Structure 1
Amino acid sequence: MSAAQPGAAARLLVLLQALLPTRLLSRVVHALAHVRARPVKNALIRIFVTRFGVDMREAAEPDATAYPHFNAFFTRALAPGARPLPEDAHTVASPVDGTMSELGAIDGTTLIQAKGSHYDAAGLIGEDAGDFRDGRFCTIYLAPWNYHRIHAPAPLSLTAWRHIPGRLFSVNPVTVSARPRLFARNERVVALFDCAGGRLAVVMVGALLVGSVDTVWAGRVTPPHRRRPSPAIPARGRYAVGEEIGRFNMGSTVILLATPGLLEWSGGLGPGAPLRMGQAIGTLGGAEPSAAAGRPSGHDIARS
């Protein structure tokens, strides 16, 4: 099947991003987002809340100006009960708030990026791609106004993770449709987990102005930006469904990959569907592992 050709405006947008000093822009935005001067950080927060209609009633701290800097506001915690979690141990929950971009079966090791556009799992996650041959995947886009912490979609046991440097193209739908292999080009953190009846990969993809990704097991992974991919780093951690495992310091994308037979997606779920963290998106096969059952146990980001 031939790929659908993106429009001239989309191609121009991709070209512009290719010419921009995206890492420099990311560093500038990162520094601005951590300014503690009250006039600056309060102005940034108020503009953002007004522009995107942020509902602060969902936040653990509803006073937007109480946060020490913009990034603390942007990665704010939710109030208890704001995102109900599934009671059934075999239900797979959305790990984030966002929009479902794509989901379905992995064809061999090929994933859908957008209509008529594909990329390979090996380019996305590296040497572990073979484990996910003919498995399942989904891609969830986080817009700037979404809640930006990432949570375990099922009871998980961390086995390894790696950081893969790359570009910082935007991951908005227009750019995704026009830039081949976008998710395998952008900077990303890949986490590998064991769960009931198989393995799950959670890929946290960086984007334009999103040069900072944190995890609960390694703290701030980037910045600093590195030139070479890290090898798979063995790690251990047990995470209950709904427990925080990471966060983006601006909007981006999360991709889930599951080994064959591990899960089936919920009926009626498709591209364009809005999601809230904790919402049921699939069913997990096999028996619940004793390693990571139950409710969140309070892991938090180790700050560097």
Structure 2
Amino acid sequence: MRQNTPILVIDRDTGTEFEEVILGEGYIRWAYQDSTSSLVERLLFRSKLFSKIMGFWYDSPLSRGKIAPAIKALAIDESEFLKPRNSYRTFNDFFIRHLKPEARPYSKDDRDIVSPADGRVLVFPRLDEDTFVPVKGFPFSIHKMLPGLSDRYVNGALAIIRLCPADYHRYHFPCAGKISDSKDIDGALHSVNPIALGSGPDVFGENKRSYTLIETEAAGTVCFVEVGAFGVGSIVDTVSSDLVNKMDEKGYFKFGGSTVVLVFEQGKIDFSQDLIDNSALGKETLVKVGQTIAKVSKHEAERAAARSR
């Protein structure tokens, strides 16, 4: 990505394009685009120490004064909050806020796969073997992202949901199923901003991440991946086993930009056409948790219906 190129995103609700507001944009561009900043990049973005220090600070009452300026700068809708802003003791309390249940409606149709988080979505309807390429980024491999697990997802489908500080930072199950496995993978904490993706670090193969396998009735085994990023103090899964329902809370990210990746086996789902069209143009689409992003493929839905008879 060229220096100072704006990040443009399509709002799914309105169909309009807008420029993303980036907290700390100057620092991110300096670290990832300035040829003189390699030492800074190593110290800040490959070492987790700085992110941990930020996490401790945002967990302290001293950070409370940052809440009101963040709401204003990021134009966050307070009417969706379950609790008022003055009830949060720290910035992270605010950051992992709950929303009113009616703020995120969703389809009850079992065939609909919903977005697990608020965020900017890119979809890949069919992977080129094991490879996907985010907006103006470098090729990434599911073999590196999911070591020892990836073969079942070759030629499958994948969705990237990129969260920004303005977003609701709890994530939810995109469909019903049974958790069969989960694993934490340690790693770096690169930024997941497109500025960083366009500058070379293997965010999906190097960053700290966790995956959960969800066995479903008709969508096969869905792999739900949480990717940590710069400034993220923790990936916290509040549910890690047993049967789950669509839109049950799965966990939350503490302060920072973060990403959820959904990986599907070949032929199991069909992404929504607007997401396919926007992604083909190299444009992310802003969606809200609970909005339908895919449907179980007709063939798989028919097979599931036949099994249930």
Query: What's the TM-score, normalizing by structure 2?
Result: 0.79
Alignment of 1:1-304 (within 5 A): 10-12=32-34, 15=38, 16-20=40-44, 22-36=47-61, 40-61=62-83, 63-115=84-136, 117-197=138-218, 198-217=220-239, 236-250=241-255, 251-269=257-275, 270=278, 271-285=283-297, 286-287=300-301
For these two proteins, the number of residue pairs brought into alignment is 265
Percent identity, please: 27
When residues 64 and 162 of structure 1 are mapped into structure 2, their CA distance, relative to the original with a 3 A threshold, is same
* Partner Cα distance (1:109, 1:133) in 2: 5
Q: Equivalents in 1 of 2:213, 2:141: separation in Å?
A: 17
Per the normalisation by structure 1, the TM-score is: 0.81
Distance in 2 (alpha carbons) for counterparts of 1:284 and 1:50: 39
Between stretches 78-87 and 96-105, larger displacement belongs to: 96-105
* CA–CA separation in structure 2 for the residues paired with 1:84 and 1:90: 16
Q: Quick check: 88-97 or 27-36, which moved more?
A: 27-36
CA spacing shift, 1:215–1:252, aligned 2, 3 Å: same
- Other-structure match for 1:298: none
Q: State the SS of the aligned residue for 1:147.
A: coil
Partner of 1:301: none
Cα displacement (A) at 1:196? 2.5
2:128 and 2:169 map into 1 onto residues whose CA distance is 30
Amino acid across the alignment from 1:172: N
The 3-state SS of whatever aligns with 2:274 is coil
1:282 alignment partner, SS class: strand
- Worse overlay, 10-19 or 85-94: 10-19
2:124 maps to amino acid: L
- The alpha carbon displacement at 1:187 in A equals 0.7
Deviates more, 1:163-172 or 1:280-289: 280-289
Unaligned residue ranges in structure 1 (runs of 5+): 219-235, 291-304
Query: Which string of whole-angstrom CA distances, capped at 9 and with x for unpartnered residues, describes residues 109-139 of structure 1?
Result: 2222344621211210111101111110011
Between 1:131-140 and 1:265-274, the stretch displaced more is: 265-274
* 1:9-61 Cα distance to aligned partner (Å, 9 max, x none): 5532883322326412111111111113xxx3431212221221221110111
RMSD (CA atoms): 2.3
Give the structure with the higher percent helix: 2
CA-to-partner distance for each residue in 1:147-200, whole Å, 9 max, x for gaps?
001111111211111111111111111101112422111111111111133111
Q: Residue type of the partner of 1:258?
A: F
Q: Aligned partner of 1:35: which letter?
A: S
Report the AA paired with residue 254 of structure 2.
N
Amino acid at match of 2:285: A
Q: Deviations over 1:239-282 (max 9, x none)?
A: 11111111111221111100112111011213321110011111
Secondary structure at the counterpart of residue 203 of structure 1: strand
Cα drift, residue 140 of structure 1: 1.1
Are the equivalent residues in 1 in contact too, given 2:138–2:200 (CA < 8 A)? no
Secondary structure of the residue aligned to 2:34 is: helix
Cα pair distance change 1:241/1:167, threshold 3 Å: same
One-letter code of the match for 1:59?
F
CA distance in 2, matches of 1:252, 1:116: 16
Deviation at 1:7, TM superposition (A): 5.3
Which blocks of at least 5 consecutive residues in structure 2 are unaligned? 5-28
